[in-house]
Amino acid sequence: MNRSISLFILIGIIILLLLFFLMQSMLKNTSSTTIPSLTQSKRTNLQNTPLASSSAYPTLITTITIVKGKLAKTPETIQVKQGETISWQILSDEEGELHLHGYNKSVDLKKNLPTTLTFTANLTGHFTYELENTHTELGALEVLPQ
């Protein structure tokens, strides 16, 4: 029990550090661009955080945490609008491969090392993502038309 709590705290600290350094680098790279407040949008889940981007839509960063082959603190369905740039910050306690169906995007997962998957949501519909090695469905990306 104490080991799982320690692991959970460690993963939380790693995620917070990643977000801190990401925000620091974005602040250094943006001189006159304002970063929207980190509030919940009607079209996104709480896990989606809008950040400044040069495209018509902001980049939506979603943290995906996988513990023992299952989602932890991540919504099962991530909802976005067509045309948005998506960046998934993925942290897993096991090695493997995450695969997003429909978009045919995948990333290798290293144990306890953050991985990023960034893409533009140009296809509308409901797309599942899974752990490829075990064919374990984790959740879905729902892309709404503009």
pLDDT at 141 (0 to 100):
96
Q: At the fourth CATH level, which superfamily is domain 2-144?
A: Cupredoxins -  blue copper proteins (2.60.40.420)
Q: List pLDDT tens digits, range 43-55.
A: 333 344 444 444 4
Answer yes or no: are the C-beta atoms of 57 and 48 closer than 8 Å: no
Between 27 and 132, the more confident residue is 132
Between 6 and 126, the more confident residue is 126
Between 42 and 141, the more confident residue is 141
- Is the pLDDT confidence value at 33 over 60? no
Q: List pLDDT tens digits, range 118-146.
A: 999 999 999 999 999 999 999 999 999 98
pLDDT at 79 (0 to 100):
94
Domain ranges, ordered by start, for the chain: 2-144
* Averaged pLDDT for residues 15-38: 51
- What is the helix (H) or strand (E) element at residue 131, kind and residue range? strand 125-131
**Which residues, including other chains, have CB under 8 Å from residue 137's CB and lie 6 or more apart?**
128, 129, 130
In this prediction, residue 73 has a pLDDT band, given cuts at 50, 70 and 90, of confident
What is the b/e burial string over 72-83, where b = at least 16 CB atoms within 10 angstroms of the residue's CB? eebbeebbbbee
